[in-house]
């Protein structure tokens, strides 16, 4: 009996209050949109094989890159890890039987679907040619369906806010007895930071997009200079949301990496405090760096210096995380498995992509590299390279948790290799294109850039092949993979304390937990003593006040972590 078939019936899924089912529906939906956005990208890459308009004309090209950006940002990356994986695992990781507001959770899914339908309708029926950034006065004067797309994105934003509120309330109020803030799993901290950004930043996006739509329809004179507006004002408002939105995508990914690293090295994080502080640091300082998108937009020199400095500060928090993950591997007991291989790819792409971000945050360098393929390569290294590999790491890591079965490890390693190599081959040439001065969003280009574009397209085909392979063996694994057992990775993390797949209510009522999520032994002597399977580590029914009756390491739970 698991949440998959209890209760049974299609209606019980469509109107479910079970956070796991809502999460699964989100996952299925965003995977569909990832495939759609990927298909758009593939057509773009293929048409860039020649310098002219061989495959699609400029007008179609503009609609395609807009569709690619809008779908990938708002219909895949922003909801994928928070709304999809977060919904499933946050309650499981804090010992809750559901989120704080299950009906609001269901509503957030259907509101997302409604918004996504509006967006896709606008993109396919007529098309939108503004780019995902909707810069006026182009967006307020275009005859394409920009207004409808903006309204669709607004609606998906409402869904984001609902999810964010729900997570904040859940993490504050639904933690199981015995689970303090200092034992909170790092993925939950990451989702908490993300939820804060979702709740604070998304309203600004909603407001801005509504104003663009109003300016387009009623000529209010907000952003369009012909009617007395200021396009640079839009840029400020847009990036006030869209820069923190980058952290909506990457923070949950970082949470996934923290979990995977600890589980597969069987090692507590070398500094729990560093990860938590850097998570909150990114969430807060990330709000103050939006101006680095506007170094050549006519902003004052003082503002440029200030935003450049703040961007360096937010980069340091990311560096702290990388140091901590690597030092966690030191002295661990490392199990080689696909999720960890994805984390390796993640670390390489994230460090290189992050450093290329430092390059464009360096004010004088941005003047040349701004709006070139260098920037395209930079944010794809972070957003696709890091977010996508973390998403895939999470899918593989939690696959047995969610389905109770195991995929083929051999195929998974092949898929991981194809995705990683395909990705590097796609985007490394784009750094060189940017160096050479190739601006982004070009339907045609000077002929001397062709060789690098061809290499990039070959990589994209390989990446697409790797993704299809991954989809294929995961589907096979769901249908007829071998039974995985409750805790195949021998993880101590809390979500494995319930059976795999979990029952509808996750845990029996009245559970008390002892210990932290990373109670791995620091010495091999400890390791031989106990790495109990999850079923034993579960402290179901332990009487309140009698934590000693549980199975686990004989250790004071409060001292399990470093000082946060």
Partner 1 sequence: MNELLRRALGLPPQASSDARSIDLLHYSVIGAAFVVAFLAFAIAGLFLVRYRERPGAAARRRPQPPRWIEGGLIAGTLTAFLAWWVVGFSQYRELRAAPDDALRIHVVGKEWMWEYVYPDGATADTDLRVPLGRPVELVLTSRDVIHSFYVPAFRLKEDAVPGRVTTMWFTATRPGTYDVLCAEYCGAGHSRMRGRVIVLPPDDYARWSGARPAADLASTGKDLAVRHGCLRCHTVDGTPHLAPSFRGLYHSEVVLSDGRRVVADEAYLTESMMDPQAALVAGFPPIMPSYQGELGGPDAAAIVEYLRSLRTP
Q: Give, as ranges, the residues between 443 and 472 that touch partner 1 (CB under 8 A).
A: 443-446, 452
- Secondary structure letter of residue 439 according to DSSP: B
Q: What is the x/- site pattern for partner 1, positions 396-435, by CB under 8 A? A: ------------------------------------xx-x
Is residue 5 packed enough to be buried (19+ CB in 10 Å), middle (13-18) or exposed (0-12)? exposed
Return the SS3 of 107.
helix
CB of 372 to partner 1, least distance (A): 7
Site string for partner 1, 161-200 (x = CB under 8 A): ----------------------------------------
Cβ 368 to partner 1 shortest distance, Å: 4
Q: Where are the alpha helices (DSSP H) in 174-225?
A: 186-218
The owner of tokens 């509120």 is 165
Residues 6+ apart with CB under 8 A from 240: 201, 204, 287, 290
Nearest approach in angstroms of CB 437 to partner 1 is 3
Q: Which is nearer to partner 1, 177 or 296 (CB)?
A: 296
In the region spanning residues 1 to 60, those forming contacts with partner 1, defined by CB under 8 A, are 58-59
CB of residue 295 to partner 1, shortest distance in Å: 8
Instruction: Lay out the site mask for partner 1 across 58-77 (x = CB under 8 A, - = otherwise).
Output: xx--x---------------
Select the residue interacting with partner 1 from 110, 348, 379, 411 (CB under 8 A).
Answer: 348
Residue 312: which residues within 8 A CB-CB, separation 6 or more?
358, 361
Reference 469, options 505, 418, 519; nearest CA is: 418
- Backbone phi, psi, residue 405, to 5°: -120, 175
Task: Kindly tell me which residue out of 208, 242, 372, 387 binds partner 1, with binding defined by CB under 8 A.
Answer: 372
H helical segments located in 404-449: 409-435
Pattern 110-129, binding to partner 1, x per CB under 8 A? -------------------x
Residue 415, Ramachandran bin (φ over 0: left; ψ between -120 and 50: alpha; else beta): alpha
Q: Which is nearer to partner 1, 94 or 315 (CB)?
A: 315
Residue linked to tokens 């009756």: 549
180 or 228, CB closer to partner 1? 228
- Give the number of residues in contact with partner 1, rule: CB under 8 A: 88
State in angstroms the smallest separation of the CB of 358 from partner 1.
Answer: 6
Q: Could you say which DSSP state residue 336 is in?
A: P
Phi/psi at 232 (nearest 5 deg)?
A: -70, -30
CB of 291 to partner 1, least distance (A): 13
Give yes or no for residue 486 binding partner 1 (CB under 8 A).
Answer: no
- Stretch 295-324 residues interacting with partner 1 (CB under 8 A): 295-298, 301, 304-305, 308-309, 312, 315-316, 319-320, 322-324
Closest separation in Å from C-beta 298 to partner 1? 4
Going by C-alpha positions, the residue among 462, 473, 471 that lies closest to residue 409 is 473
> Would you tell me how many other CB atoms lie within 10 Å of the CB of residue 468?
13
Q: 300: buried, middle or exposed (CB in 10 Å: 19+, 13-18, 0-12)?
A: exposed
Q: CB of 132: closest distance to partner 1 in angstroms?
A: 11
Contacts of residue 39, Cβ cutoff 8 Å, sequence gap at least 6: none
Among residue numbers 213 through 252, which ones bind partner 1 (CB under 8 A)? 225-226, 228-232
- Of 109 and 369, which has the nearer Cβ to partner 1? 369
**Which one of residues 237, 260, 285, 340 is an interface residue with partner 1 (CB under 8 A)?**
340
Residue from 13, 110, 135, 379 in contact with partner 1 (CB under 8 A): 135
Q: Which two tokens stand for residue 502?
A: 């979990």
């Amino acid at each position: 009996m698991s949440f998959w078939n209890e209760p049974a019936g299609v209606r019980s899924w469509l109107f479910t209050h079970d956070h796991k089912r809502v999460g699964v529906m989100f996952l299925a939906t965003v995977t569909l949109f990832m495939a759609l956005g990927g298909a758009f990208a593939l057509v773009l890459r293929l048409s860039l094989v020649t310098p002219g308009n061989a495959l699609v004309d400029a007008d179609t090209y503009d609609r395609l890159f807009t569709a690619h950006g809008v779908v990938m940002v708002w219909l895949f990356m922003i909801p994928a890890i928070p709304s999809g994986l977060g919904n499933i695992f946050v309650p499981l990781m804090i010992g809750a039987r559901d989120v704080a507001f299950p009906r609001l959770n269901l509503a957030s899914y259907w509101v997302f679907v409604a918004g996504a339908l509006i967006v896709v309708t606008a993109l396919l029926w007529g098309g939108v040619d503004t780019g995902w950034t909707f810069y006026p006065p182009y967006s307020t004067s275009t005859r394409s369906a920009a207004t409808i797309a903006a309204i669709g994105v607004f609606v998906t934003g409402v869904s984001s806010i609902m999810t964010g509120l729900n997570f904040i309330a859940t993490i504050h109020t639904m933690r199981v007895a015995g689970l303090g803030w200092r034992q909170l799993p790092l993925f939950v901290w990451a989702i908490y930071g993300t939820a804060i950004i979702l709740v604070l930043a998304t309203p600004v996006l909603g407001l801005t997009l509504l104003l663009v739509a109003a300016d387009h329809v009623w000529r209010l004179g907000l952003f369009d200079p012909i009617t007395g507006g200021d396009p640079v004002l839009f840029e400020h408002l847009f990036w006030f949301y869209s820069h923190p939105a980058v952290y909506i995508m990457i923070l949950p990914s970082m949470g996934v990496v923290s979990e995977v690293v600890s589980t597969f090295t069987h090692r507590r994080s070398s500094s729990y405090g560093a990860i938590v502080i850097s998570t909150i640091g990114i969430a807060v300082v990330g709000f103050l760096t939006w101006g680095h998108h506007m170094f050549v937009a006519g902003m004052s020199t003082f503002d440029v210096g200030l935003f450049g400095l703040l961007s360096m500060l937010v980069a340091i928090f990311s560096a702290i995380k990388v140091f901590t993950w690597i030092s966690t591997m030191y002295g661990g007991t490392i199990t080689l498995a696909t999720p960890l291989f994805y984390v390796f790819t993640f670390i390489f792409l994230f460090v290189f992509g992050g450093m290329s971000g430092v390059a464009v945050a360096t004010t004088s360098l941005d003047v040349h590299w701004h709006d070139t393929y260098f920037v395209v390569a930079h944010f794809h290294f972070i957003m696709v390279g890091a977010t996508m590999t973390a998403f895939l790491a999470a899918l593989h890591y939690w696959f047995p948790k969610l389905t109770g079965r195991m995929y083929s490890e051999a195929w998974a390693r092949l898929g991981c290799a194809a995705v990683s190599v395909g990705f590097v081959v796609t985007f490394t040439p784009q750094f060189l294109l940017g160096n050479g001065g190739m601006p982004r969003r070009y339907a045609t280009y000077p002929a001397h850039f062709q060789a690098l574009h061809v290499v990039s397209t070959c990589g994209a085909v390989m990446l697409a092949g790797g993704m299809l392979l991954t989809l294929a063996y995961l589907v096979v694994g769901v249908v007829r993979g071998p039974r995985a057992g409750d805790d195949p990775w021998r993880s101590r993390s809390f979500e494995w304390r319930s059976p795999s797949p979990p029952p509808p209510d996750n845990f029996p009522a009245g559970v008390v937990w002892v210990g932290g999520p990373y109670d791995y032994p620091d010495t091999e002597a400890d390791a031989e003593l106990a790495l109990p399977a999850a079923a034993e580590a579960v402290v179901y029914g332990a009487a309140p006040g009698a934590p000693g009756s549980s199975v686990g390491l004989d250790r004071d739970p409060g001292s399990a972590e470093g000082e946060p």
